[in-house]
């Protein structure tokens, strides 16, 4: 009989993680595992996330504030997502966003965003 070592859990506290400064006044904190990533993204009113797309599936959950989203290569679809609401963004769907007020956005990605981990996400670095 073979015994396999079990993976260990990892515990994090958001307030202990460094806030990474991005374009405008956007900052974020990341937690990643082998197959998932979760991020707290902090935006002030007027901060914008330029149009981009990625192979990662994305779930965006607004904890505080509101983001206005445009979806599609020419902004064919428009949606405002407020505190307590979630939007699921499929792989490769172009999207952009604007903070309508101070916002705490929780983003979940599968697989993890390698461009975020490597710092090559130029669209967010302004």
pLDDT tens string 106-123: 999 999 999 999 999 999
pTM: 0.92
Instruction: Give the residue numbers spanning the domain of 72.
Output: 19-124
| Residue 71 located in a structural domain | yes
Burial (CB count <10 Å: 0-12, 13-18, 19+), residue 81: buried
> In CATH, what number is assigned to the domain containing residue 43?
2.60.120.10
Does residue 97 belong to any structural domain of this protein? yes
- Has residue 89 been placed in a domain? yes
What is the C-alpha separation between 106 and 38, in angstroms, rounded? 7
Query: SS3 of 35, please?
Result: coil
| 32-69 pLDDT per residue, tens | 999 999 999 999 999 999 999 999 999 999 999 999 99
Distance CA 27, CA 43 (A): 7
Give how far Cα 33 sits from Cα of 3, 16, 30, 68, Å. Answer: 24, 17, 10, 29
- How many domains does the chain divide into? 1
In a domain, 113, yes or no: yes
């Amino acid at each position: 009989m073979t015994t396999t070592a079990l993976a260990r859990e990892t515990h994090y506290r958001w307030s202990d993680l460094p806030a990474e400064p991005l374009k405008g006044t956007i900052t974020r904190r990341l937690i990643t595992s082998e197959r998932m990533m979760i991020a707290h993204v902090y935006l002030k009113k007027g901060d914008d996330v330029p149009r981009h797309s990625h192979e990662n599936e994305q779930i965006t959950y607004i904890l505080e504030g509101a983001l206005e989203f445009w979806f599609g290569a020419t902004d064919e679809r428009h949606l405002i997502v407020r505190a307590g609401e979630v939007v699921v963004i499929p792989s490769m769907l172009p999207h952009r966003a604007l903070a309508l007020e101070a916002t705490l956005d929780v983003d979940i990605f599968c697989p993890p965003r390698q461009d975020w981990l490597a710092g090559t996400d130029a669209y967010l670095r302004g």
